[in-house]
Structure 1
Amino acid sequence: MSGEAKHESNNVGWDAMPPSSRAPAFVVTPEGTNDPDRKGAEAALHNLKQAQAEHPFWRNRFFKACTAGHLTKADFQFFFGQYYLYNRNFTRYLAALMANADNDYHRARLSENLWEEGGGLEKDKRHAEIFRKFLRDALEIDIDNTDYLDATRFFVREFLDFCLRSHPAAGSSFLSLGTEGIVSRMYTIMVEGMLKAGIAEEHLSFFRIHIGCDDEHAETLEDMMVSYMHTPDWYNTCLSSMNYALSLRHRFFESLYDALQGRKLQGVMSRIQARRSLAPQYPDPSLICFASGQRGAPLHEAEAERQNVKVSVERIPFKSEIIDTRVVRIPPGKLNERHKHAHEMILHVAEGTGRVQVNESTVEVKAGDTIFVPRWSLHQTQNTGDGELVMLAFTDYGLTRRAYQNEPPARPAPRREDAAVAQAVADAEE
């Protein structure tokens, strides 16, 4: 059943109940909790929070890229520029839940949440204003001229619509377990990615506030949710509402990740479709011809005696957008690392003889032979001759480094590596 269908069925079920049966069996009061079955509540909350922690949302590609350090400042500019529409509307979600609350104490506690979100009497301490400061100072985003994606507008509209139309048990679960209760873990992942992208710690106060403090907002919403636990089908209502909030956010983050990938290809595709040449009418010969015996720019060099590895790789400095051309040199009797990568590759043997393994197949090669290495296939080359093995490697790295979001940043080419480091490089490539 889709999230929309769950949402609709929950509303029908609650609305069909007579007012007397919809009233909570107990409510949280300022004097304490009138709870006849606190152990039952704790067990239910434990199960709900376990389902929250295991939701597929935590495995979205944006989080994986944050953890791996694959995102740039420009990526975060785009992501948080879109996320701002959700952030600036957050008090509307609370206000919608408050309007639906059928208990005046719940409304009073929600009004405290709204007051704190709004910074009280200090407008510069509004959470939305602190976030705007982050956007302006850290990411240099023009918040007044952001073009929001349809996916962003849908996400914000669905959040508000659910809070407006749902019974307070569903709405409080949606905003507690499905929203406020994930903030600390979610922002910790984002901060990790931003620090790896070079965004200074001094700009991350908005996130640190939400990670480090004991957030009473989630507790208020959770107390409100628990107060309805003796109403019919309470647990399933809370579970489906929480799951819907997490699924909405999961789809939103995945949509933004897709958009990030599309943006990386947009410039290249636009130039191709516009038939725009990358070369002037009379290009410099050095930009279109790599002469025999010429050396390219050093790209990678590894040596590990125990693995019999010794290889150097040079990049031919053509001004290409898609094709990446390299020269691979392996001394007699040596191998390069066994590895795989996102780009596909054609190897042309210019000098020497060797043996190339692609997955479980091995071929003997000599000068003039050409080998195709499909993307993500394990491959390794050994020099079986008496002289240097020289190969030209033609890859589509210029395309995959844009299209494949998880491509790790280029590392400096080491001049020499011991066995442990060389093995670590090979493992990382695999």
Structure 2
Amino acid sequence: MYQRITEEYVERLRSHPFVQRCRDGSITDRELNIFLTQHAKYSAYFTRYLCALIANLHDAGDVMRLAENLAEELGFGEEGGEPHARIFARMIEQFGIDLQQAPLFDSTQKLISTTFHYCKQPDPAYGLGALCLGAEAIVPALYSDIISGFEANGIAPERLHFFRIHVECDDDHADTMREILQRLQQDNPQGEERMLEGAQAMIAARLAFFDGVMEGARQ
């Protein structure tokens, strides 16, 4: 079931004009820079989304497993490495983007608020649906298309390291959450409806986010 749902959500996102134009190489520098700016504002809270979700998990083992994902984001995983937030910040700097001067779009704020809303719910099925099926599981396919857009605009592969590492590693993060979801669903079949609510709300908010990026580029 989870694979089918993920494929459906990926298809919906890849059908958005912004992502389509990344994939076919017709996307503009301006659109990509605005995307980076707004995505940076959304992703700046990622570890806090994860902390909010962890706080509502009932099983200590699940807490430890997602804490490992959190440690990896912070650069304290088994393999160490640089925190993902720092890698993203360096990429933003290389593109000459000043986040302090850039406005926060309403659609970006809606994506942030939606993520927090579901991750903070006492029933973790909401947050797992939002953060797993609505965010982590769709990242490899989505970022692959976005990488194509940057490359079509002459951006060297080494400048896209942040996106590449997430294409490679976020399947593991999503798998961890899926396993937790599967067990929760076995214990409480009614949790499926809550899981899907969180996931669908996130996909809708992300589609609106892309609308905001394209609208911002036209101004």
TM-score between both structures, scaled by the size of structure 2: 0.90
Q: Which residue of 2 is the match for residue 131 of structure 1?
A: 88
Contact 1:124–1:130 under 8 Å retained in 2: no
Decide whether the 8 Å contact of 2:22 with 2:149 is kept in 1: yes
Q: Determine helix, strand or coil for the equivalent of 2:26.
A: coil
The reply to whether residue 90 of structure 1 matches residue 28 of structure 2 is no
- The letter of the residue matching 2:110 is F
Change beyond 3 A, Cα 1:60–1:199: same
Instruction: Tell me the equivalent position of 1:322.
Output: none
- For residues 73-95 of structure 1, the C-alpha deviation after alignment (integer angstroms, 9 at most, x for no partner) is 23211211111011111011100
Match of 1:243 in 2: 200
Which residue number in structure 2 is paired with residue 153 of structure 1?
Answer: 109
- Matched residues in 2 for 1:212 and 1:156: separation? 24
Which of 253, 257, 261 is residue 210 of structure 2 equivalent to?
A: 253
Alpha-carbon spacing, 1:80–1:53, altered in 2? closer, same or farther (3 Å): closer
**Residues 164-197 of structure 1 deviation map (CA, whole Å, 9 limit, x = unaligned):** 1251122112111111001110000000000111
Q: Which runs of 5+ in 1 are unaligned?
A: 1-43, 264-430
Aligned to 1:194: 150
Of 14, 18, 23, the residue aligned with 1:67 is: 23
Any conservation in 2 of the 1:73–1:198 contact (CA below 8 Å)?
no
> Which protein has the larger Cα radius of gyration, Structure 1 or Structure 2?
1
Q: In 2, distance between residues paired with 1:188 and 1:50?
A: 15
- Offset, 1:50: 4.0
Cα distance per residue 1:12-71 (max 9 Å; x no partner):
xxxxxxxxxxxxxxxxxxxxxxxxxxxxxxxx33443343344x3221111122123222
Offset at residue 214 of structure 1 (A): 6.4
Q: Deviations over 1:380-399 (max 9, x none)?
A: xxxxxxxxxxxxxxxxxxxx
Q: For the residues of structure 2 that align with 1:211 and 1:158, how far apart are their CA atoms?
A: 23
Provide the rounded CA distance (Å) in 2 between the counterparts of 1:83 and 1:119: 20
* Runs of 5+ consecutive residues of structure 2 not aligned to the other structure: none
Query: Whose relative contact order is higher, 1 or 2, with alpha carbons under 8 Å and at least 6 apart?
Result: 2
Q: Is the 8 A contact 1:187 1:211 kept in 2?
A: yes
C-alpha distance in 2, partners of 1:257/1:178?
21
Q: Which has the higher helix share?
A: 2
Matches within 5 A, 1:376-387: none
RMSD: 2.1
> Alpha carbons of 1:242 and 1:190: their partners in 2 closer, same or farther (altered >3 Å)?
same
Matched, 1:176 2:141: no
Q: Which residue of 2 aligns with 1:106?
A: 62
| Structure-1 separation of matches of 2:169 and 2:66 | 18
Instruction: Give the structure 2 partner of residue 233 of structure 1.
Output: 190
**d(CA) in 2 for partners of 1:214 and 1:117?**
10
CA contact (8 A) 1:91 1:117 kept: yes
Tell me, in whole angstroms, the C-alpha distance in 2 between the residues paired with 1:173 and 1:209: 23
| Cα distance in 2 between the residues matched to 1:133 and 1:158 | 27
Give the match for residue 8 of structure 2: 51
- After superposition, give the CA deviation of every residue in 1:334-376 in whole Å (9 maximum; x if it has no partner): xxxxxxxxxxxxxxxxxxxxxxxxxxxxxxxxxxxxxxxxxxx
Do the aligned residues in 2 keep the contact of 1:110 with 1:220 (CA within 8 Å)?
Answer: yes
Whole-Å separation in 2 of the counterparts to 1:98 and 1:218: 14
> How many pairs does the alignment contain?
217
Amino acid at match of 2:156: A
